[in-house]
C-alpha cells in the first residue's frame, strides 16, 4: 500500500511538473507578434517542447526527492511546501538553461 501511495504522489508531482513546463514555455514564447500564422506555430512548438521539458523537470524532481527530500522531510509538517518549492526551483533552473541555450548560445 505504501508503494501505491508513493506512486500516486509521484504521478501528481509529474502532472505539476508538466503544468509548470507549460507555463514556462508559454512565458518564453509569449511575444505579441503580428504574423498571421504565429499563433498556430506557437501552439505546435508548445505541444512539442512541453512534454520534453516536463519530463526533464519530473525526472530531476523525482531523483532529488528520492535521494534527498524523502530522508530529510520525514514526519515534518511543511514537507509539501518544501517539495513544491523544490519543483518550482527545478523548473526555473531548467527554463533558465533552456533560455540560455536557445537565445544566448543558439544551440536549440
31, 105 Cβ separation under 8 angstroms: no
Looking at residue 89, its pLDDT comes to 93
The pTM is what?
0.81
What does the pLDDT read at residue 36? Answer: 62
Tell me 105's DSSP state. S
Confidence at residue 87, expressed as pLDDT on a 0 to 100 scale: 92
Q: Among all chains, which residue has been given the C-alpha cell 514564447?
A: 29
CA 66 from centre of chain = 17
- Give dist(CA 57, CA 17) in Å, integer: 6
What average pLDDT values come out for the chain (108 residues) when binned by 10 residues?
Answer: 87 92 82 64 81 90 89 84 91 88 78
Amino acid at each position: 500500500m505504501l508503494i501505491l501511495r508513493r506512486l500516486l504522489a509521484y504521478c501528481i508531482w509529474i502532472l505539476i511538473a508538466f503544468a509548470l513546463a507549460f507555463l514556462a514555455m508559454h512565458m518564453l514564447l509569449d511575444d505579441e507578434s503580428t504574423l498571421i500564422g504565429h499563433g498556430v506555430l506557437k501552439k505546435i512548438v508548445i505541444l512539442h517542447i512541453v512534454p520534453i521539458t516536463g519530463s526533464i523537470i519530473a525526472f530531476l524532481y523525482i531523483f532529488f526527492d528520492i535521494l534527498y527530500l524523502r530522508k530529510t522531510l520525514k514526519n515534518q509538517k511543511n514537507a509539501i511546501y518544501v517539495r513544491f518549492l523544490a519543483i518550482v526551483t527545478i523548473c526555473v533552473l531548467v527554463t533558465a538553461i533552456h533560455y540560455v541555450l536557445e537565445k544566448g548560445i543558439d544551440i536549440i
